[in-house]
Structures are given as structure tokens and as C-alpha cells.
Amino acid sequence: MLPSAFKESQSGATVPTVLVLFVTIPLAELFLLIEVGSWIGALPTIGLCLLTAMMGAALLRQQGLQTLARARNNLDRGSLPAVELLEGAALIIGGALLLTPGLVTDVIGFLCLIPPTRRWLVRLALARMAVRVGPAGPPPGSGSGSAGGSDDRHIIEGEYERRDDDPRR
């Protein structure tokens, strides 16, 4: 049996994996900023971070409006805009990563904003969701309308006919 720290979360990632990411990404950012700063200087490095944030904001606005228009078109046609919703989530994540100072997060953020790589990420996410999603509805034995346990009521199917000529009415 695995210790509780190593159990899978609902998203499928283990707690140590998330912890490793929260430690290694800032360290990689710091290392890369120091290396780039020693190569091109401190002010150009800061300018590069600001430039990527501004470019990311402009790209996020443009791509976000296009994704919103595609989602509206799908809704107008009567279909669910699932891909557009996932692309919108990728855009939000990419925009947040571009606003985060650092070059590693900028690269990942741009990958989320560039349409071909964003679509690839969405297809990857959809494939993972298709494997994880099971049948819809409440779990067996949960019973509708009860606080839990089994539902002891029996349902009897049948037909009825309403008669308005009933003298009691």
C-alpha cells in the first residue's frame, strides 16, 4: 500500500510530482534568468520578460476572440463547443504563464497560445479525458432522493387514462 503522499489525486498526478514541479520550475527560471542576464545583461533580460508579457497579452486577446467566435458559431449550430472550451482553458493557462516572470514559463505559455500546439494539447487532453470518463449518472446503489444507501421503492410501469366525465368532480 502506498503512503498517502504518493496516492493519485483526481487529476491523475501524484502529490510528489506536483511538489517537484513547484520546486524545479522556479529553480529553472532562476537559473535561466541568471544565465541570460550574464549573457545579454540585466536590463535587456528584464526588457525581454516585459516584451514577452506584452506579446503574450496581445496574442491572448487575438486568439481568445477567435476562440470565442468559434464557440458561438458551434452554439448557434446547436453543437457543444467542447474543443473551444478546452482551447479557452489553454489560452487562460498560457496567458497566466506569460504574465509570470521567467523564460521557461514564457515558452510554455507561448506553446499554449500558438494555434497548432494549442490544438495538439487539446487533443491530448481530450484523449486523456475519454479514457478517464465513465458512464454518466449516480453511482449504483446511491438511490435517487435519499441521503445514501439503496432505494427500496419499487417502480411499477403502466398506463392510465384520464376521464373527465367522472361524477365525483
Within 13 Å, how many C-alpha atoms sit on residue 111's CB side?
9
Give yes or no for residue 31 having a pLDDT over 80: yes
What is the predicted pLDDT for the residue at 88? 86
Please give the Cα distance from 107 to 32 (Å, whole number).
12
Please give the Cα distance from 125 to 112 (Å, whole number).
13
Give yes or no for residue 94 having a pLDDT over 80: yes
For the question of whether the overall pTM of this predicted structure is more than 0.95, the answer is no
Work out the angle at residue 139's Cα, subtended by the Cα atoms of residues 137 and 143, and round it to the nearest 5 degrees: 95
Which own/partner contact pairs does 76-80 have at CB distance under 8 Å and 24+ positions apart? none
Higher-confidence residue: 137 or 106? 106
Give buried/exposed letters for 29-55 (b at 16+ CB in 10 A, else e). beebbeebeeeeeeeebeebbeebbee
Residues 6+ apart with CB under 8 A from 140: none
Give yes or no for residue 132 having a pLDDT over 70: no
Average pLDDT over residues 134-146: 53
Residue type, 2: L
What is the predicted pLDDT for the residue at 166? 59
